[in-house]
Chains A and B, each alone.
Chain A
């Protein structure tokens, strides 16, 4: 099977899937929670819960890229791990193509693993140092018992070409590759089973900036060719802006704002989003004056502990707009600025959005 065959086949399967489901989301998540109990003492009594993810709602449509941004510790990686069911949520639901996968066992999930795949953050630890590239990229076929047309070796070599590596690398070991190349290997492995959804958990944050651009472009090229959907988790706002169709901003286990990319970056409504965006430097020496005069919102204090999040709105302890109602009532994630079709809504969780 040549790369062209691979492409056409992948595209045809995707388009069939899209046509059948219409505007139905590929994955819809509601009220997703991950609470870790904190146990102490001889009796292992539960003395508290870390609310790493505490009520996340989102949808992913076929073929789109949803960016998920937030500070470290805001629960975005935990969310990613639940979407791929590496972790089992303690609450809420995940529906993939009409099937509730929230509490499926690992055995039940096995066939689904072909449709949902993941790219990991650390290219050092995501490849087994004792396996060759051929074994690593071919592992999905071996585990799922798939015999691709033309044989596994051929399929693996096609995947390697697809991600911009040489098929000659088949018998080499991970330590012979640079970080960017290793990340490409991880991407090839995730693509082997032609997934419909790829969750990428900070796939470029461990890479050099020059390499980041190459890998982000690779993600875009692959999407253009294979038509799969991405959930792209990152803390780098520029990277997310570059790749996403829609962006969700997380803070302390909840989504603060979710909107199409240009809306979110152009007219951020949530104070937290505004603060985040104001912190992004302009990497353009010609606009030095603009950079200096630009108003920067400096947030006071630290992110509160997820063990004991603030009442009402989570962001109120650091928000310059906070009123009494913010402590009393948690603002729901609501559509603002007029009715819009599904998939392009601008939703904000704030009592006083701009």
Chain B
């Protein structure tokens, strides 16, 4: 007789064996997860910050009509003050207006790139792990091959062909960032496929795609959501880095990393307003996504959930 630890530990009302309705309305997995998440005050703070940042970047331009793109030689490198809350850059464009636009770009590219890599990574991993055998071996060797392409050269090359724009960045980041998730989901897929409910589905004549859709993917949802969050943080980081070294988005349509690239040219002159707002925003946004990801990981951990 095999008894799993959960069976021993869970206070199940075995006395209520037949036909009796359970008294308490059961709470869904997401509900129970939220309770764990809400206990993590740091994560709540991160969530609040992130929502505020998103609202600021997208709604800010509606209330603040600064000139972020046009040059104005009358007003170059003004320090923060009346009319320009975050000063102006070397071309006289308003830094706060650029900041809103840059924040939007960072978020757009980060979220879309992160989601694309999460989708690819999850499907790839689930298929590879479920079917196993030679297919798994081939798919994993493809990943090894992908990982041995030096990304920086690929980006320089793609940049030369297509130029630098946000859509390209989304796809480049999305199509290169999925390897980590794939490995995790593949592992989970291999664990789930030996469960009896998968055997039961095969017993009823369920095909591989059916089982992946109905059984493997729904049961990896926790890992997928958590890693999508990390993946978004990673994508923002990645885009900032690329832009900072001049391979990403450039002024006047720069993301936060691109603004940093601009600003650091004038580090000697002490134009701090061209550096710190963007730098601090990058750090805090990535930190917030990572903190939320950590808290989500706890939230999906059934051991920590109250029944």
Contact = CB atoms under 8 A, between A and B. Distances in A.
B19 interface: yes
A170 to B, nearest CB: 12
B219 interface: yes
A78 to B, nearest CB: 13
B2 A178 contact: no
A120 B14 contact: no
A120 B196 contact: yes
Contacts of B22: 176
Contacts of A205: 1-2
Interface string A165-201: 1101000110110111100001001100100000000
Given A109-B205, A176-B26, A124 B14 contact: no
A143 B26 contact: no
Contact of B12 (A126, A129, A178): A178
A130 B218 contact: yes
Contacts of B199: 81, 86, 118, 120, 126
Interface stretch (B3-11, B41-49, B52-60, B273-281): B3-11
A179 B2 contact: no
Contacts of A164: 18-19
A127 interface: yes
B1 A86 contact: no
Interface residues of A, number: 47
B31 to A, nearest CB: 12
Nearest to A192: B204
A84 B202 CA distance: 10
Interface string B162-202: 00000000000000000000000000000000011101111
Interface in A111-133: 111, 113, 117-118, 120-122, 124-131
Contacts, number: 104
B197 A125 contact: yes
A211 B201 contact: no
Contact of A181 (B1, B17, B29): B17
A292 to B, nearest CB: 26
B220 to A, nearest CB: 10
B21 A168 contact: yes
B206 interface: yes
A206 B197 contact: no
B13 interface: yes
B201 A125 contact: no
B17 A180 contact: yes
A175 B205 CA distance: 25
Given A173-B26, A178-B14, A206-B3, A128 B219 contact: yes
Given A130-B219, A166-B21, A211-B14, A124 B205 contact: no
B141 interface: no
B62 interface: no
A186 B205 CA distance: 16
A144 interface: yes
A110 interface: yes
A155 to B, nearest CB: 14
B307 to A, nearest CB: 8
Nearest to B28: A173
Interface string B206-245: 1100100011001101000000000000000000000000
B73 interface: no
B204 A113 contact: yes
Contacts of A122: 2, 4, 196
Interface of B: 1-4, 6-7, 12-14, 16-19, 21-22, 26, 29, 195-197, 199-207, 210, 214-215, 218-219, 221
Interface of A: 81, 84, 86, 106, 109-111, 113, 117-118, 120-122, 124-131, 136, 139-140, 143-144, 164-166, 168, 172-173, 175-176, 178-181, 186, 189-190, 193, 205-206, 208, 211, 214
6 contacts: A113-B205, A124-B4, A129-B219, A131-B218, A140-B204, A186-B200
Given A117-B204, A120-B200, A175-B26, 19 more contacts: A106-B207, A118-B200, A121-B196, A124-B7, A126-B195, A126-B197, A127-B197, A128-B215, A128-B218, A128-B219, A136-B197, A140-B204, A144-B205, A164-B19, A168-B21, A176-B26, A178-B12, A180-B17, A211-B17
- What 5 pairs across the A-B complex have the smallest Cβ distances? A126-B196, A110-B205, A120-B196, A113-B205, A130-B218
